[in-house]
Amino acid sequence: MNYANPQIEEIFLEFDMDCEKAIEYMKGEFNLMRAGRANPKLVENIKVDYYGAMTPINQMGNISIPEPRCLLISLWDKSALKLVEKAILAANIGVTPQNDGTVIRLTFPVLTEERRRDLVKQVKKLAEETKVVLRNARRDAMDGLKKEKNAKTVSEDLIADYEKEIDKRLAKLIETIDRLAKEKEVDVMSV
């Protein structure tokens, strides 16, 4: 879309960036939700005090999934196994690590029906919070357009077109959020 001036373009860029950040954050949070399956994202950013530096686990070794409900962490430096085990316990991810001297195993229990329903509630809540962030971004964009209108830098007809464009983009983004939330709900509820 062509914009009448750089300020209008900046408003649209800021709106798009804010919306993209919100959706990426939601996706990241969805990835951290345990759905009865092992997911390396649960542990890869846990920091370990390794020789005085806080180091993420994914930089200390390999994280693999030998079975759907099991994570296997094999470190390059076996002397750090105890440190990683302590860091995982401190992170309180709901799984107790098993250290056999060469690797660390994390076995995820099967989710109960009640826990699945709780996760679905969390998914819906997160989706709604993301929609609120998008609506706030829309409000900020509309305020910016209103300022341009009052400054008389752009015609009122163009401002009306831009407002419709913002609303169209918001509607598409909300559809995307609803779709992602629905997919995550199905994922959580599948046994």
Encode pLDDT of 65-77 as tens digits: 888 778 888 888 8
Residues 49, 80: Cα–Cα separation, whole Å: 9
User: What confidence tier does 50 reach under pLDDT thresholds 50, 70, 90?
Assistant: confident
Residues of the chain with CATH 1.10.132.20: 6-33+112-189
Q: What CATH number labels 40-107?
A: 3.30.1360.40
User: Looking at the predicted structure, is the pLDDT value of residue 7 above 70?
Assistant: yes
Q: Give the pLDDT confidence of 143-153 residue by residue, as tens digits.
A: 998 988 888 88
Residues of the chain with CATH 3.30.1360.40: 40-107
User: Looking at the predicted structure, is the pLDDT value of residue 18 above 90?
Assistant: yes
DSSP 155: -
- The structure's pTM equals 0.71
User: What confidence tier does 1 reach under pLDDT thresholds 50, 70, 90?
Assistant: low
DSSP string for residues in 97-153: -EE-SS-EEEEPPPPPHHHHHHHHHHHHHHHHHHHHHHHHHHHHHHHHHHHHHHTTS
Mean pLDDT of the chain: 86
Q: Which of the listed CATH numbers 1.10.132.20, 3.90.470.20, 3.40.50.1370, 1.10.10.10 matches domain 6-33+112-189?
A: 1.10.132.20
